[in-house]
Amino acid sequence: MSQDPNCIFCKIVDGKIPARKVFEDEQMLAFHDIAPWAPVHILIIPKQHIASMAETGPEHAGLLGHMMTVGVRLMAELGVTNGFRTIVNTGADGGQEVGHLHLHFMGGPRPWARG
């Protein structure tokens, strides 16, 4: 599986940096965000290093669908019952801060209303 030795998310996948994991399988990893914007805020990343959503193609359709459906299930398992927000920042102009594809799933009472 392709990894970038300088990527913080690849280091999390490799176990070199700890994370509060909520799910892991052979394709992806889900963990709590270290700077949450909501009562429940998880990140879902592919284990393969893919720099951003702009780097995906038809060969990634199964992976992307898997990441989305597992995210929905995890939000329910984490007690989010009244809706949630899913965000994928892509590239510098899209607000992406880490150069590894990641999906934000945020839920809880009005998680996007920052105080």
In order, the DSSP letters of 27-50 are SEEEEE-SS-SSSEEEEEEESS--
Say how many CA atoms lie within 13 Å of 110 toward its Cβ: 3
Architecture field, domain 8-107: 2-Layer Sandwich (3.30)
Catalytic residues: 102
Domain boundaries, the chain: 8-107
pLDDT digits (tens, 9 = 90+) for 43-67: 999 999 999 999 999 999 999 999 9
pLDDT digits (tens, 9 = 90+) for 8-23: 999 999 999 999 999 9
The three-point CA angle 82-87-90 to 5° equals: 175
Q: What span, in angstroms and rounded, lies between the C-alpha atoms of 100 and 46?
A: 8
pTM: 0.92
Q: What is the pLDDT of residue 29?
A: 98
